[in-house]
């Protein structure tokens, strides 16, 4: 029995070793194949990444420089800038500071200046005068009332303004002036005072026509009259309600005194 068993035992061991050897070889072959595929995927990803980086790099540099330039302007706002005159000469536009200093030097200390809220901090900080609204005006109804005053008819605008302000300051002179912003002012007003643009939620009746001309509602507004006074033929403010007291050198800012100010409202 011992002899028989000893004769069979090596054969069994040999078979097991052969099987293990085959399994080991299969595992090594499979592992090698997986490693190869993994390497190819990594190389493909690296190539694609390099191609994308090479394509995006010029745009990335442009984006970086644009961001730096915008950050410079936004962190160092200026109201004095250089421009080219009609003859191509370089001029220094100092209209805004000039207007705020005029308020500081030529109006009573308790004067109230009405202007769109964008310029509120400048009027307060540079002109040292009280403004009706500024960037910290969180009350939406407050802003809507200001928009309603400026974009209502001259008569209606004066009826409100005489209770709120002593002067009205408007940005004129083209570009992003108050007239360009005025459709937005009208929409804000209409969001609270629904009768401002009846049955017209977005105030499409207040703006410019396709030919660039003001619509009848805009042409009749207080803001349009103040902005275009004596600039557009036939456009003048009612001299019984407003009086122009200041116009900057290049026409960027105009200031009008409100006539017949309600003294009881001001005292209150």
Could you read off the pLDDT of 108-144 as tens digits, one per residue? 999 999 999 999 999 999 999 999 999 888 889 999 9
- Could you give phi then psi for residue 231, rounded to 5 degrees? -105, -40
pLDDT in tens, 192-247: 999 999 999 999 999 998 888 999 999 999 999 999 999 999 999 999 999 999 99
Phi, psi of 116 (to 5 degrees): -60, 150
In the chain, DSSP assigns E strands to: 81-84, 90-93, 112-114, 130-131, 167-171, 242-247, 253-258
Residue 74 pLDDT:
64
Of 174 and 96, more confident = 96
Q: How many CA atoms does the CB half-sphere of 201 hold within 13 Å?
A: 0
Q: On the CB side of 206, how many CA atoms lie within 13 Å of its CA?
A: 32
CA-based end-to-end distance of the chain: 125
- Tell me, what's the pLDDT at 83? 83
Judged by average pLDDT, the poorest of 21-25, 37-41, 149-153 is: 21-25
The pLDDT-based confidence of 2 (bands split at 50, 70, 90) is very low
Q: Give CA–CA dist 85/81, Å, rounded.
A: 13
- Mean pLDDT, the chain, whole residue set: 86
37 has a pLDDT exceeding 60: yes
**Is the distance from CB of 254 to CB of 170 less than 8 angstroms?**
yes
Q: Are 209 and 234 in contact (CB under 8 A)?
A: no
Q: How far apart are CA 59 and CA 105, in angstroms?
A: 50
- Tokens of residue 160, six digits: 């409100």
pTM over cut 0.75: no
Residue 33: per-residue pLDDT: 63
CB-based contact 119:168 (threshold 8 Å):
no
Hey, what are 228's tokens?
Answer: 């275009």
pLDDT per residue as tens digits for the range 42-82: 888 888 878 877 777 777 778 888 888 877 766 656 788 88
- Whether 258 shows a pLDDT value over 90: the answer reads yes
Secondary structure class of 11 (helix, strand, coil): helix
pLDDT at 168: 98
Q: Collect all residues with Cβ–Cβ distance below 8 Å to 196 and sequence separation of at least 6.
A: 148, 151, 152, 186, 189, 190, 203
């Amino acid at each position: 029995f011992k002899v028989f068993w000893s004769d069979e035992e090596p054969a069994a061991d040999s078979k097991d070793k052969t099987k293990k050897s085959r399994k080991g070889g299969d595992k090594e072959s499979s592992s090698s194949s997986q490693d190869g595929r993994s390497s190819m995927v990594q190389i493909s990803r690296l190539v694609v990444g390099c191609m994308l980086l090479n394509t995006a790099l010029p745009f990335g540099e442009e984006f970086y420089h644009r961001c730096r330039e915008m950050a410079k302007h936004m962190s160092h706002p200026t109201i004095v800038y250089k421009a080219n005159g009609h003859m191509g000469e370089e001029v220094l536009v100092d209209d805004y500071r000039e207007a705020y200093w005029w308020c500081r030097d030529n109006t009573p200390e308790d004067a109230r200046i009405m202007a769109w809220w964008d310029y509120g901090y400048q009027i307060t900080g540079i002109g040292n005068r009280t403004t009706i609204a500024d960037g910290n005006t969180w009350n939406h109804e407050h802003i809507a009332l200001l928009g309603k005053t400026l974009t209502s008819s001259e008569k209606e605008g004066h009826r409100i303004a005489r209770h709120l302000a002593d002067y009205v300051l408007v940005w004129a002179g083209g570009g992003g002036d108050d007239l360009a912003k005025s459709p937005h002012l009208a929409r804000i007003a209409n969001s609270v005072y629904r009768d401002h643009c009846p049955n017209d939620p977005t105030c499409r009746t207040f703006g410019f026509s396709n030919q660039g001309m003001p619509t009848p509602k805009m042409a009749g507004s207080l803001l349009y009259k103040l902005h275009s006074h004596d600039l557009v033929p036939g456009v003048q403010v009612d001299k019984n309600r407003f009086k122009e007291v200041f116009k900057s050198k290049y026409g960027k800012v105009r200031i009008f005194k409100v006539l017949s100010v309600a003294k009881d409202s001001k005292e209150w």
